Structure 1
Amino acid sequence: MKDQCAFVYSEEQLNYKFSSHHPFNQFRLKLTVDLLERLHALDPKQIVPPRIATEEELSLIHDPSYIEAVKKAGSGLLANEVAENYGLGTEDTPIFTNMHEASSLLVGGTLTAVDEVMSGRVLHAVNLGGGLHHGFRGKASGFCVYNDSAVAIKYIQKKYNARVLYIDTDAHHGDGVQWAFYDDPNVCTLSIHETGRYLFPGTGNVNERGQGAGYGFSFNIPVDAFTEDESWLDTYTQAFREIAEFFKPDIILTQNGADSHYYDPLTHLSATMKIYREIPRLAHEIAHRYCGGKWIAVGGGGYDIWRVVPRAWAMIWLEMTENSHLLSSFPADWVAHWQPQAPVKLPQEWDDPEDIYPIIPRKAEITEKNLITLEKALYPIRSRQKSETKTTESF
């Protein structure tokens, strides 16, 4: 399995940088790669450099006028009032030099991962520089200029004629990808996220199920604030298994935002590293069960770049390459090297301590609420199964 995985990466992916104080910090990529290298888990032969997506490829999802606006913005040629119409120059998505080139490279990285898998060169591929799921056809949103996952899915459809199951475990709703395929029955999306009651983008309600021919192919599970590991994993496991069995995809694309962790400064969930062990493990299992192993993973959110993201994202690669045994010990030399630069105390272990946060008094209530939400989200599948069972029994 080790020689059947591709790690898409180059330091040029760090050029997607809004400012030194912006919470979206691609330095987390370098920290993750260094962690894997110190584990001797990443062979240089497995690293595939990303290419830049062409404008034609970007136009699979994005409006040409928007692409032109991004190009002008990155060259300092777009008026502020025009930029705002495209979601550029905002507090969330500030303009930076060469924005188009940096954004196109992130999209191209995910397209590189797609071609590696769909050509048969590898079974699994990861592009941690991707996962920018909030980008819309004609507007930037939530730190995302171009939507690499949406472009990649459309690219897969056009070039490989495959049915895609998109799984989004970012704490924020995967709105840009959902709306891009809301009426498409050949793309199934599942987003498990913190309820939009308190968190951007405020969408992802359980009743957002798709429209037209795509009705019943969009699934959303908005979990309650302060949700802990057990409830989150129960939701993830049941939903992923049942939706995969229902949809039977040709390929799985997972978005792996690492911002559901208790330490994340922008969200309100109470997950620990336990969920980041399980997220890729189940994706790996499901990919082999339904897709002959075809699995692409991208990054996403994650704003505690020192304590959370490197560990969470390293676990994806260790699962892909069947090197999970390396999780038995954490590399002390990684901690020693980066601690002088880190503003927080770095972890000494892969897992978090049991007392990472105070006891949450509403745990039972939150768990029950999440179970009800899960039931509502999966109702179309479960009701269909009951109907089919009754029909079979009648014969």
Structure 2
Amino acid sequence: MKDASVFIYDPEESDYRFNDEHPFNQKRLDLTVDLLNRMGALPEEALRKPITAEAEKLLLVHSEEYIQAVRELSCPSPREPWLSAAERYGLRTEDTPFFPRMHEITSHVVGGSLLAAELVMKGETKHALHLGGGLHHALRNQGAGFCVYNDASIAIAHLKKEYQARVLYIDTDVHHGDGVQWSFYSDPDVCTFSIHETGKYLFPGTGGVPERGEGEGFGFSVNLPVEPYTEDDSWMECFEEVLERTAATFRPDVIVSQHGCDAHAYDPLAHVHCSMRIYKEMPALIHKLAHTWCGGRWIALGGGGYDLWRVVPRAWSLVWLTMTDHPLLKQLEENPKLPLPLEWLDRWQPESPVELPPTWLDPVDCWTPMPRRIDITAKNKVTKELAMLYLNK
């Protein structure tokens, strides 16, 4: 197996865009790739372009009826019967409105995640990153939460079908990874782990600790719903302990991780108050677990993240730097105030509506602590213990 990691990217993935006012903006992909390029961390030989997923792959997770609806609503001028049915398929909502070429563009996104799975399982690389993927909310018959096709679920179903793999899915998005969970809720060969803000206050309203799976899959759905305004220490305490226990109990063949980075304090669509620190530490733990349990097999995807200027490029770059054991990580340990490349800041500050952060990590010593920090931490500790109730020690 080759040691070099693979970065799957195509500028055309930025065409996955609902409208100019929508918070899901894939310009963040371009910002991330430019950041990595300007620091010399993205060699040409690491890059691969996504393929386009064929219908048979989409059918691993989605119904034929739903795929047909997506196709029809992708036309420049959809026919009236499909316009009338669009809401039933979750494709005429404020969150997930249909758009031209939707099927073509999203099939390309799915193909990127499938390519990542293939490269890892065929031994062509140990790690593969596809930041255009991670559309974890789409359901069998419905689009939801900015997601049309669920590339994460399709990649996992492919891993099961073609390689009979036991898959540990790790979801770090602040919104519960509901679509992936429901796809494999009764499957004992897929364990879904999701840390997220509690659904009491946030979309999609699911992901409570009692959602543990059903039938043969009972115990293989692990949810960590943290309190609003959770900070770094509490988030990482929950994440580390429960995930390590989950991996040791499940013993996966391969890890698929979703790296939504909307638990950051700057993100406008949630209420968690973490810093860039967690986006350095979470990939590091996943990387370690991949080598501990899976021979290094690790497929990583993008996900949410709606502060596309200040948060996403740094967070997603840190996933790639972790995958490649880049020396910058050691430099960050020695100097938490390590600056971002000046060339990147100069390139993008004129376009950014907010001041770009000058450093890789955030100056949390200057941040105002959350007033209810002690109570929030205590509640999260209780949730953590409940989440581990059926995990072997």
TM-score range, shorter chain: over 0.9
Deviations 1:312-347 (A, max 9, x none): 000000000000426544101100000010000011
2:112 pairs with one of 109, 112, 121: 109
Hey, what's the Cα distance between the residues in 2 that align with 1:313 and 1:48? 17
CA contact (8 A) 1:190 1:219 kept: yes
What percentage of residue pairs aligned between the two structures are identical? Answer: 53
Hey, what's the Cα distance between the residues in 2 that align with 1:234 and 1:138? 36
Hey, what's the Cα distance between the residues in 1 that align with 2:250 and 2:230? 27
CA contact (8 A) 1:3 1:46 kept: no
CA contact (8 A) 1:2 1:321 kept: no
- 2:88 aligns with 85
The 5-angstrom pairing of residues 9-158 of structure 1 reads 9-75=9-75, 76-78=77-79, 79-158=82-161
The 5-angstrom pairing of residues 230-249 of structure 1 reads 230-249=233-252
2:296 aligned with 1:287, yes or no?
no
Unmatched 5+ residue regions in structure 2? Answer: 333-337
CA contact (8 A) 1:131 1:256 kept: yes
- 1:391 aligns with none
Query: Which amino acid counterpart does residue 385 of structure 2 have in structure 1?
Result: E
Query: Which amino acid counterpart does residue 122 of structure 1 have in structure 2?
Result: T
CA contact (8 A) 2:8 2:116 kept: yes
Q: State the 1:268 CA deviation.
A: 0.1
CA contact (8 A) 2:2 2:124 kept: no
Q: Give the secondary structure class of the aligned counterpart of 1:286.
A: helix
CA contact (8 A) 2:2 2:123 kept: no
**Scaled by the length of structure 2, what TM-score is found?**
0.96
Deviations 1:104-132 (A, max 9, x none): 01110000100110110100000000000
Distance 1:356 1:190, change over 3 A: farther
Query: Which amino acid counterpart does residue 7 of structure 2 have in structure 1?
Result: F
- 2:305 aligns with 302
**Scaled by the length of structure 1, what TM-score is found?**
0.95
Query: Which amino acid counterpart does residue 156 of structure 1 have in structure 2?
Result: L
Q: State the 1:290 CA deviation.
A: 0.4
- 1:339 aligns with 349
Q: How many residues in Structure 1 have an aligned counterpart in Structure 2?
A: 383
CA contact (8 A) 1:222 1:373 kept: yes
- 1:186 aligns with 189
Hey, what's the Cα distance between the residues in 1 that align with 2:87 and 2:366? 41
- 1:359 aligns with 369
Unmatched 5+ residue regions in structure 1? Answer: 386-395
Q: State the 1:80 CA deviation.
A: 2.6
CA contact (8 A) 2:188 2:217 kept: yes
Hey, what's the Cα distance between the residues in 2 that align with 1:47 and 1:99? 25
The 5-angstrom pairing of residues 320-331 of structure 1 reads 320-325=323-328, 327=332, 328-331=338-341
- 1:206 aligns with 209
Q: RMSD across aligned C-alpha pairs, in angstroms? A: 1.2
CA contact (8 A) 2:172 2:196 kept: yes
2:381 aligned with 1:380, yes or no?
no
Hey, what's the Cα distance between the residues in 2 that align with 1:109 and 1:302? 19
Hey, what's the Cα distance between the residues in 2 that align with 1:138 and 1:285? 36
Q: Give the secondary structure class of the aligned counterpart of 1:277.
A: helix
Q: State the 1:77 CA deviation.
A: 2.0
